[in-house]
Structure 1
């Protein structure tokens, strides 16, 4: 008996075929659940690719995919994964294909664990499977997901969500995190950890960890702000205050506060904190500096202050965050 039947619902865009991103998330699920691991568990998962066969590459796409099973084979699987939906569903507001929606509802009704990777959440939402539940997707698409499905509790900050029988993930590497999380749930931490080492990835990233969103100086139509914001980013280690920034911008503190909030949607102090956490992220990713020095260089001060603000903003401690980016070779020295 296998570790479980995993059925992947593949619905290429009839106009564009499989995109690179769709193929990426599909390949992640196939790699985790479709490659036998006899030294870990034998037999491994039984994988089914389910969908509508494609006669050949669609215009604009070099890829085509023929599936052995139709969407009706989702029923009876232990786990159903939707790795993506056609771009037109997300970008143009088209409906999720009705045959996929109906197949997902039937699979969920039969007791399957329902999973989406990135934009696959749009399919689960269309089937009503995310109503009243926390869900996520790649942060670039969560606004559309929330707007189209207000009954879903969309969280754009996490890597993945686990609601028991319904799980969702952000895109790219977060999809791999969720797949390994499923293996951990099914077969234990030891098997998941050994598989992660085989795939040369971190054994476990908690779902509550924040998606890694860069926080650059935001574009602004207010030319009077850009120079001072860029200067602030270059002097984060200095004791910056609203008065200091306002004086450099040749504005009153009140005017500076108002204009920055109009340009960025946040207050000066909140903006400074975001930039300092982003600087700390960059230093944790690229150097082996101790947290005390990172606190100083980012302007967050003491190690305790760094840990408090970093954990609150990113969702994990600086140490755990660094592990996510630690290369296999010796780390570089910060200068």
Structure 2
């Protein structure tokens, strides 16, 4: 997936557009060479908020892209332009992977790409999307949905989560984590996490679980239970669950499993350890258990993942003139 085209027209949301440009349009050949061949595609000069953008290519270029990204569509009460809808549909029919950021889902819906699929958009507009396109299974409670060749995200920060998810699919976890560190954002948030939590995600050290997270991440090789976490946090299991939902948008066990899988990805990419050794290091116990959870979460078996991402991960971790940093469990 080396060619990325950003589909533009008047009335796009500039924040989501800028995220895609920053991730895919920056020169990151020091991480992976080649990086993405990136192009802004539109019908002509495009007004985005207060800015006038001059696209690199016309909308007809979308059919030649491996990945097409549609930023947020500002006016969800108005149908997106037919020429944009037609170009996005044609790109998907030509084999492109198509991803929408925030309300860009309305463009994909108008193109018929979401019919019969599960999808999401910004929570404030999920009812509108459902009412206008009843053949779509709209999930208002997730950050993003990966439905094979069609992906959709919620708004703002979730759009960055989806962009990093695409990088992770194409180049592996270590490269995606390096990009996230460059942008000073969390390296991985599961698409299935809630769009918003019952209280804002607090700064490190400013919530009841602040000391628990690093304690857990240093002990991923151990068979931790919810009771173990609750005991360490000094609260009941039920109280712990409420705090986890408020801070992370997910449950303690799901969060723990996600950390184990992401740590396994990094070990597969950057070490020669066997799957059995990695299963022990990540607290999965056996290679069979690791393979089952890994394939379900990532989509491919551990050995296939290693063959795909091993070399580029080592290059990314080493960097220009740097030694590879010490491996640590991934933090959310």
TM over 0.5: yes
Q: 2:174 aligns with which of 179, 190, 199?
A: 190
Deviates more, 1:61-70 or 1:29-38: 61-70
The whole-number CA distance in structure 1 between the counterparts of 2:237 and 2:42 is 52
Aligned equivalent of 1:32: 23
- 1: distance between equivalents of 2:159 and 2:165? 10
Deviation sequence 1:88-128 (CA, Å, 0-9, x none):
3x1xx221211111111110110000100000000000100
RMSD: 3.1
Q: How does 1:221-300 map to 2 (within 5 A)?
A: 278=199, 286-287=206-207, 288=210, 292=230
* Contact kept in structure 1, 2:68 and 2:91, CA below 8 Å: yes
Flag structure 2 segments of 5+ consecutive residues without an equivalent.
213-228, 260-332
Tell whether 2:8 aligns with 1:10.
Answer: yes
Measure how far apart 1:62 and its partner are: 2.2
Structure 2 vs 1, CA of residues 286 and 12 (structure 1 numbering), >3 Å: closer, same or farther? farther
Residue of structure 2 in register with 1:303 after alignment: 237
Scaled by the length of structure 2, the TM-score of the pair is 0.65
Q: Deviation digits for residues 5-59 of structure 1, max 9, x if unmatched? A: 001101113xxxx5xxx1110010011111111221012100111112227x68x
3-state SS of the aligned residue for 1:286? coil
Give yes or no for the alignment of 1:111 onto 2:45: no
Q: What secondary structure does 1:64 align onto?
A: strand
User: Relative to 1, partners in 2 of residues 1:311 and 1:106: Cα closer, same or farther, differing over 3 Å?
Assistant: same
Partner-residue secondary structure (3-state), 1:151: coil
Are 1:51 and 2:51 matched, yes or no?
no
* 5+ residue gaps, structure 1: 215-277, 325-335
Partners of 1:306 and 1:283 lie apart in 2 by: 18
Deviation at 1:190, TM superposition (A): 1.1
Deviation at 1:284, TM superposition (A): 8.1
1:94 equivalenced with 2:92 (yes/no): no
Which SS does the other structure have where 2:39 is aligned? strand
Question: 2:192 is matched with which residue?
Answer: 208
Tell which structure's C-alpha radius of gyration is larger.
1
Q: Does 1:63 align with 2:33?
A: no
**Secondary structure of the corresponding residue to residue 206 of structure 1:** coil
Query: Taking structure 1 as the reference length, what is the TM-score of the superposition?
Result: 0.64
Equivalent pair of 1:283/1:294 in contact (CA under 8 Å): no
**C-alpha displacement at 1:319, in angstroms?**
9.6
